[in-house]
Amino acid sequence: MKEIVVTSSNAGQKIEKFVKKYLPEAPLGFIYKAFRKKDIKINGHWVKKDAVVTDGDVVRIYVTDQQLQDFKKPRPAEKRAFSYEIAYEDGNVLIVNKPKGVLVYGDATGVRETLGNAVLDYLYLKGEFDPNDHTFVPSPAHRLDRNTSGLVAYGKTDAGLKALTDLFKERTQVEKHYLALAVGDIDKDGKIDKPLWKDAQNGRVYVKPLEAGGKTALTLYHVLKRFGDYTLVEANLITGRTHQIRVHFASIGHPLVGDEKYGDFADCRKVKSLTGLDSQFLHAYKISFKDVGGVLAPLKGQTFTAKLPQEYENVLKTLTGETF
């Protein structure tokens, strides 16, 4: 039998979720059977899967020592200072500036440096994360591609993560703005309203009608600077589909500079030879919070920005003779 005391960082979640996080390698069948056999209790009482744990509750999971060893997968963490820029932090939320080339999540190799590991190391140093407690792991509420730089919001507590995740899913009280350099001359502001379909097997996204399986996708954009061969735009994501900005701008004949997946390949070669840029020119530079409440109340009315990375400033200077 394993006994766990619920803390404020993992309170507020359903007991089913709590147990799944504590035993991340346990088969779902084992967990559901444990509930049916009344092998999971809160404060000495058997509970159903949808019971909510609160701060100070004592959760008991009746497992053998061998099962506990098999079903728990310790997450490596070190107490280390955070090496990236922090745009905002409170008890529930952490907003950080991710550099280009850094993964938000781990990949199949498990050896690359990730933003997630850096966040956990930092919170471990502060005493706000216990790598041996798998009932809650601070996580991002949204994601950026490896080669897209900019702001990422993390939930430091279960309540913070749930509120942020809902916020970014609904997108009525938060706005995400990107800076992008597009190929060609875009002469006015506009919107791109084209459904997108993700081919998960090949890692690509395509424009596809709703009736054929596409999902609604809407991007608004504002022209910031026109350079003739290139245009610097501010893109506002109304929806948050994978590769949305990259695919949308490619679909109107203005792919992002450096985008070797969806872009103008001849221009990519030219830009790479002139500047060394080998990926899309895309930076998540601003997050604005509107009328938010609850654990997110401190964010109400606030806007956070991350300046354009020097690498992109250098690309602008080389291609256009100007900077942002």
212 by DSSP, 3-state: which?
A: helix
Per-residue pLDDT band at 260 (split at 50, 70, 90): very high
The DSSP annotation for 162-203 comes to: HHHHHHHHH-SSEEEEEEEEEES---S-EEEE--EEEETTTT
Per-residue pLDDT band at 74 (split at 50, 70, 90): low
Domains, the chain, in order of start with CATH, read: 2-71 (3.10.290.10), 85-167 (3.30.2350.10), 171-320 (3.30.2350.10)
As given in the structure block, the two tokens for residue 311 are 């690498």
**Catalytic option among 39, 55, 133, 145:** 145
Mean pLDDT of the chain: 92
Residue 55 pLDDT exceeds 70: yes
In the residue annotation, 145 being an active-site residue is answered as yes
Residue 211 pLDDT exceeds 70: yes
Residue 200 pLDDT exceeds 80: no
pLDDT of residue 109: 43
pLDDT of residue 75: 58
As given in the structure block, the two tokens for residue 288 are 């604005």
Q: What is the pTM of this model?
A: 0.81
With beta carbons less than 8 A apart as the criterion, state whether 40 and 47 touch: yes
What is the mean predicted confidence (pLDDT) over 11-30? 87
Q: Are strands 149-155 and 282-289 parallel, antiparallel or unpaired?
A: parallel
Residue 228 pLDDT exceeds 60: yes
Count other C-beta atoms under 10 Å from residue 48's C-beta.
10
pLDDT of residue 286: 98
What is the mean predicted confidence (pLDDT) over 251-261? 97
Directed axis angle between helix 28-36 and helix 15-22, to 10°?
A: 130
Percentage of the chain beyond pLDDT 90 is 76
